């Protein structure tokens, strides 16, 4: 389980939120309704009317101005990344080292 407290400051958005909203809509709520920065590295928690689950918004969004991600193609696979692979991904490199021969 993820320890949200280790990620930094955690805010709970009180009341109910329409949980059909996407990540951009949740970020908009944080910015416009509460004048907080959704890109701050803080965690924002939202709950719907059923109150049987919550969504945590912790903005990790990476867009590359030049080039594209080299993303694995197999849709039937999930892979755990090593710390090194995560760093490579965040820097825009392929997660698998290419071996030159």
Of residues 35 and 85, the one with the higher pLDDT is 35
What is the structure's pLDDT at 61?
61
DSSP 31-58: HHHH---TTSS-EEEEE-TT-S-EEEE-
Q: What's the pLDDT band for 33 if we cut at 50, 70, 90? A: very high
Q: What is the pLDDT of residues 43-79, one digit of tens each?
A: 999 999 988 889 999 876 666 767 777 777 777 778 8
Locate all alpha helices (DSSP H) within the chain, ordered by sequence: 23-34, 83-90
What is the structure's pLDDT at 99?
45
């Amino acid at each position: 389980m993820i320890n949200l407290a280790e990620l930094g400051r955690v805010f709970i958005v009180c009341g109910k939120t329409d949980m059909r909203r996407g990540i951009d809509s949740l970020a908009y709520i944080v910015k416009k309704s509460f004048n907080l920065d959704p890109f701050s590295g803080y965690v924002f928690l939202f709950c719907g009317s059923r109150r049987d689950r919550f969504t945590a918004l912790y903005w990790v969004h990476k867009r590359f101005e030049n080039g594209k991600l080299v993303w694995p193609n197999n849709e039937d696979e999930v892979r755990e990344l090593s710390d090194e692979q995560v760093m490579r991904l965040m820097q825009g490199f392929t997660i698998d080292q290419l071996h030159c021969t």
